[in-house]
Structure 1
Amino acid sequence: MLLTFSLHHAGASRAADIDIRQCIIAGWAGRDLAAIEHHIEELAELGVPRPSAVPLFYRVAANQLTQDEVVQCVGPASSGEAEVFLFEHDGDMWVSLGSDHTDRALEAHSVALSKQLCAKPVARDAWRYEDVATHWDQLVLRAWIVENGVETLYQEGTLASLQPPEFLLQKHFGLNRIPAGSGMTCGTVGAIGGIRPAPSFRMELHDPLLDRRIGHGYTIDFLPEVA
């Protein structure tokens, strides 16, 4: 899937078309294993199957990646999750932002299928990883949804709560860098007030040290679920 990014480094920006041929969703990527186990038990009570490993790497078709501002989903039960999105270009690793939009009704049957069913929106800006690596834990993920016509803060947390990229890349690829042609999301922070669907989703990755943000928003066209 061809995605277009503005790559920001050393005060300059340049456009690049990136061909992503495999997409990996890193799930259960928190650092607090006790908290992960508690969440697994909570989801199990709702019928969501226990993951076979922690972290767990889901493969999603690369053609599900999109930078459009409208995505279509079957039925009303899907919702977004703000996550860091990693990719490679010209020998460097780059950091952007994506949403692991997931069908929550299907999740109880198969987490992998619930992720595959939905488009994965991705932002259009990226930072060079080396420019943020030394203060990675200070980066902040945020997301907002619209409820009853009002935009509401839905997610907020620093990347200190999630496994660092090198850990995830070593676990999945056996490398400290992401291979060319691959894109990976790196886990999310908790939903304030619980996971729930909404007609729009806006997210950002905030770098408080360098005072900059990557943002992206999209609305959802809910398609009828017919039998």
Structure 2
Amino acid sequence: MTLEGRTILVTGASGGIGAAIVERIAAEGGRAVIHYGRDEARARALLESVGGSGWIVGADLSSPDGATKLWEDAVRQAGRVHGLVNNAGIRSETTIDDDLDAWQSAWRHEFQVDLFAAVDLCRSALRHFRQHGGGQMVHIASRAAQRGYAAEAMPYGAAKAALVNVSKSIARSFGKDGVTSVAIAPGWVRTAMAEDFVARFGEAAATGDIPTGAMATPEEVAELVAFALRPSQRSLNGATLDVNGGSYIR
């Protein structure tokens, strides 16, 4: 029970990776604050599935004040929060042939959800952690942050790359305050988004450049997140952990 007695806020927790993270936290003795954007019923079902030990909080991370309100609501319900998992994310598509308004809108929306909301949560969490003896952060980035991304989804890769840099800056700047910050950079993960891609383009389009021949599962990612959240893993501070089956090796 390596997370026993610890409370972790997980954003985007009603989705595939987020739900697996919540389940893993519960399995290791922790309690999750389950954030959802729209699907309250799914968030409630997830809370029920882990024995009702935790809380659910709704927040629109596409709103400029959504992340700050989320943190305030989480603390109001849970009290002391020991960890933050920035998992919520979107994947916007736009091309250089789109009109300028559509191009700029896609970039701004992507960065609001995948970066600006995350850094606002980091700000709130860091202030809370400094007052209460430290805490852990895990940021779900992407292989795209490391190697670049497809032309039609450049905003996603750029936002995730910035998130990795934020994680490193936090690690360097706040380690002395008992804070650790770790980024996890998956390749393809077997989620609903991946299944949609496979339905459109075929399995080989997703797994063809993965030496292991398979996508990661949400449970694999969740196991690694829970490990990084352990207070015993202080020396992981600043790391970016690749979970891509060998499709990108630094």
Same structural fold, with TM-score higher than 0.5 when normalized by the shorter chain? no
Give TM-score, length-normalised by structure 2. Answer: 0.29
Q: Which has the larger radius of gyration?
A: 2
TM-score, length-scaled by structure 1: 0.31
Bigger proportion of residues as strand:
1
**Higher share of residues assigned helix:** 2
